[in-house]
Structure 1
Amino acid sequence: MQGLGLQSLKKNPALIPLYVCVGAGAIGAIYYMARLATRNPDVTWNRSSNPEPWQEYKDKQYKAPS
């Protein structure tokens, strides 16, 4: 496809900001999903050691992400 290679980017440098914005959006989405998967008390990765991780937040104030 035209516009995906380094040679075509040299011919049409107006595509560079597009690639930068799409790349930044993809990195941001991956970071946000990883943060939700590791920080959210509703997500458990090891059920045998802690089958109900939300019980740790029983007496704590917790605001769900909106």
Structure 2
Amino acid sequence: MQGLSLASLKKHKALIPLYVCTALGCGGALFYVIRLATKSPEVSWSKKNNPEPWEEYRNKQHKFYSPIRDYSKEESPAPKY
């Protein structure tokens, strides 16, 4: 198929932006999936080191901004298991 080798890509220069955009999109999706897997509190990689990872977030404020209530002084609505 034309455009898949470097020699034919030099003849069809209009395909270069297509390959660049596709590579950037795949790289961005890969970065986002890796970020979700490492930074998300719903993912636990080791059950031995931290058997209940949700307990770390019990007393943390999850709301970015609230002019009405101060969530740092209230009891967390999370259930105790």
Q: TM-score, normalised by structure 1?
A: 0.89
1:62 shift after superposition: 2.7
Runs of 4+ displaced beyond 2 Å: none
Q: Which amino acid aligns with 2:14?
A: A
Query: Over residues 33-63 of structure 1, what are the superposed CA-to-partner deviations in whole Å (9 max), with x where a residue is unaligned?
Result: 0000000011000011101111101011236
Aligned-pair identity in percent equals 60
1:49 counterpart residue number: 49
2:72 counterpart residue number: none
Larger Rg, first or second structure (1 or 2): 2
Number of paired residues?
Answer: 63
Q: TM-score, normalised by structure 2?
A: 0.73
Say whether residues 1:23 and 2:50 are aligned partners: no
Query: Which runs of 5 or more residues in structure 2 are unaligned?
Result: 64-81
Which of the two has greater helix per residue? 1
Secondary structure at the aligned position of 1:48 is classed as: coil
Query: Which runs of 5 or more residues in structure 1 are unaligned?
Result: none
Q: Which amino acid aligns with 2:29?
A: A
